């Protein structure tokens, strides 16, 4: 079933929302009166296409269709979810909500506002119960957090429905129980921002030195443990009580100026802007976005490998989509099965800028693992004491993969019986093989340490695939010795 989201306001945040929905299979209609809106969204979408798929370990859904609407009414028609991302002017948001609810009074409307409370957004609305805050963080297509803030007038069932939609597109809806100015996360950012402005204004640190203090130190800790868990660890074996007893007195010391604000003069603006230009002005904004995205992908992948923090959200998003993929709805046909989609990450390349040999085997392993999950030999099955072990592999390199390349892993079953699984894996770039791997696997009783027959539940999934693949042409590389000519 096709699903539609409407995005009202196509700037950086609105474009990020559009990309997030599109790459998760939704059709998206955008309204923005800016004549450059289509170009801007196109550039954001290009960045998202290069980055978001690298976070997923199963094939992405087919991308939805993007439409630029001429009016708000046209944009929201037939939408299941609407995200407002216009400028932070309350009267403008009220006008937008009024136009939306003239035709869609019962449709969910999330606002990207970073400061307004939902009760303020709902003032004089035709149906205030359907308007709530869904505050994301840039880039929306990579960072999972969305602060979901209802008011006492909100329809709580609608809020739960909105949270489920956000989960479906890979986000983490943080339900803010009481509405407050600037919600939760931006209140922290405002505190850090104020102190940073004072440090620059007073000549204590430059913009670059402040950024180094964050990205070389506590920013890394916050990115994977947050604030309180970080301080719990800092308390040592005695935990949080010891930390608070040790550092609590400093709260009375005049370290910060958080209750005081530097005068926002032209001189302060010029000082900050000048230092910022010197710090990173060698890059265009689009270049900085791509650098940021590549760094975030690497960081998020590391967290995903450890099932921790934001990486846990990515794993859960994969699992939700994998459930539909592995419940038998993935069509079995007389064709190699698409089992994995990957992107060449910075850690995958060597000094020549090419993908390293080990990563070709990793790509093959990802493809085979996805197939094993598909036939029921997943982690739960392994925990029960049985698994498929690789007995032999033969890899052939057919081409080159470089940083950022998108790769697809397909699998053809050459032969299968109760104990053996003989497969041929193709790692493709743009439809062409960059590597092929022939692999023989044995079904193993791990406790006994020997091969054994697979159970009926596994064979009932595996053997029909083997039968469907029986008439496929045998790949030329199968069974070839090293150096043998085709």
Check residue 164 and give its pLDDT: 97
Residue range 279-294: average pLDDT? Answer: 87
- Of 303-312, 340-349, 463-472, give the lowest mean pLDDT range: 340-349
Mean pLDDT of the chain: 91
Check residue 353 and give its pLDDT: 84
pLDDT reading at 323 higher than 70: no
Instruction: End-to-end CA distance of the chain: give it in Å, rounded.
Output: 46
pLDDT reading at 147 higher than 90: yes
- Of 18-27, 67-76, 345-354, 365-374, give the lowest mean pLDDT range: 345-354
Residue 179 dihedral angles phi and psi, to the nearest 5°: -70, 145
Q: How far apart are CA 412 and CA 423, in angstroms?
A: 6
pLDDT reading at 132 higher than 90: yes
Model pLDDT for residues 220-239, shown as the tens digit of each residue: 889 888 888 888 888 888 88
pLDDT reading at 326 higher than 70: no
Check residue 90 and give its pLDDT: 96
Local confidence band at 264 (pLDDT 50, 70, 90 cut-offs):
confident
The residue with tokens 């007038």 is: 153
Check residue 35 and give its pLDDT: 94
Model pLDDT for residues 164-196, shown as the tens digit of each residue: 999 999 999 999 999 999 999 999 999 999 999
Contacts of 471 (CB under 8 A, 6+ apart): 334
Model pLDDT for residues 191-200, shown as the tens digit of each residue: 999 999 999 9
Model pLDDT for residues 327-354, shown as the tens digit of each residue: 444 567 789 999 988 888 777 888 888 9
Check residue 328 and give its pLDDT: 43
Local confidence band at 444 (pLDDT 50, 70, 90 cut-offs):
very high
Domains annotated for the chain, with CATH where assigned, are: 4-175 (3.40.50.720), 190-282 (1.10.1040.10), 332-469 (3.10.129.10)
Q: How far apart are CA 292 and CA 280, in angstroms?
A: 12
pLDDT reading at 8 higher than 90: yes
Q: How far apart are CA 387 and CA 382, in angstroms?
A: 5
% of the chain at pLDDT higher than 90: 67
Model pLDDT for residues 83-96, shown as the tens digit of each residue: 999 999 999 999 99
pLDDT reading at 302 higher than 80: yes
pLDDT reading at 240 higher than 60: yes
More reliable by pLDDT, 384 or 329: 384
Q: Report the b/e string of 438-477 with b at 16+ CB within 10 A.
A: bbbbbbbeeeeeeeeebeeebbebbbebbebbeeeeebeb
Number of H helices, E strands in the chain: 17, 14
Check residue 114 and give its pLDDT: 94
Give pTM, 2 decimals.
0.78
Residue range 28-45: average pLDDT? Answer: 96
Check residue 331 and give its pLDDT: 64
Residue range 465-473: average pLDDT? Answer: 95
Check residue 4 and give its pLDDT: 98
């Amino acid at each position: 079933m096709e699903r539609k989201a409407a995005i009202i306001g196509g700037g950086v945040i609105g474009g990020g929302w559009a990309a997030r929905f599109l790459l998760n299979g939704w059709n998206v209609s955008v309204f923005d009166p800016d004549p450059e809106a289509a170009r801007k969204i196109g550039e954001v979408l290009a960045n998202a296409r290069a980055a978001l798929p690298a976070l997923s370990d199963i094939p992405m859904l087919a991308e939805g269709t993007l439409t630029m609407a001429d009016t708000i009414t046209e944009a929201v028609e037939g939408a299941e979810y609407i995200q407002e991302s216009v400028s932070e002017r309350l009267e403008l948001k009220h006008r937008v909500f009024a136009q939306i609810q003239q035709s869609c009074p019962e449709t969910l409307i999330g606002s990207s506002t970073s400061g307004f409370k939902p009760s303020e957004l709902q003032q004089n609305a035709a149906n205030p119960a359907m308007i709530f805050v869904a505050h994301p963080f840039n880039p929306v297509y990579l960072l999972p957090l969305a602060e979901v803030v209802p008011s006492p007038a909100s329809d709580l069932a609608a809020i739960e429905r909105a949270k489920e939609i956000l989960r479906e597109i890979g986000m983490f809806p943080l339900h803010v129980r009481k509405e407050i100015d600037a919600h939760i996360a931006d209140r922290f950012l405002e505190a850090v921002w104020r102190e940073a402005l004072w440090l620059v204004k007073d000549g204590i640190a430059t913009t670059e030195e402040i950024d180094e203090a964050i990205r070389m130190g506590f920013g890394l800790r916050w990115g994977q443990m947050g604030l309180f868990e970080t301080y719990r660890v800092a308390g040592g074996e005695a935990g949080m009580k010891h930390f608070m007893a040790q550092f609590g007195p400093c709260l009375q010391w005049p370290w910060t100026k958080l209750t005081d604000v530097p005068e926002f003069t032209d001189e302060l603006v010029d000082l900050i802007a000048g230092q910022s230009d010197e710090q990173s002005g060698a890059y265009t904004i689009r270049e900085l976005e791509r650098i940021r995205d590549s760094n975030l992908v690497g960081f998020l992948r590391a967290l995903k490998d450890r099932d921790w923090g934001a990486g846990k959200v990515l794993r859960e998003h994969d699992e939700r989509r994998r459930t539909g993929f592995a419940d038998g709805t993935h069509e079995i046909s007389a064709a190699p099965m698409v089992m994995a989609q990957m992107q060449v990450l910075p850690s995958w390349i060597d000094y020549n800028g090419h993908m390293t040999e080990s990563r070709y085997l990793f790509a093959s392993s990802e493809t085979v693992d996805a197939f094993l999950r598909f036939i029921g030999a997943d982690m739960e099955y392994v925990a029960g004491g049985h698994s498929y072990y690789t007995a032999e592999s033969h890899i052939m390199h057919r081409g080159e993969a470089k940083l950022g390349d998108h790769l697809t892993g397909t699998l053809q079953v050459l032969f299968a019986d109760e104990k053996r699984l003989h497969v041929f894996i193709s790692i493709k770039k743009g439809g062409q093989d960059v590597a092929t791997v022939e692999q023989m696997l044995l079904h193993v009783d791990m406790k006994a340490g020997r091969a054994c027959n697979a159970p009926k539940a596994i064979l009932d999934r595996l053997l029909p695939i083997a039968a469907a693949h029986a008439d496929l042409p045998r790949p030329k590389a199968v069974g070839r010795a090293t150096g043998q000519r085709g």
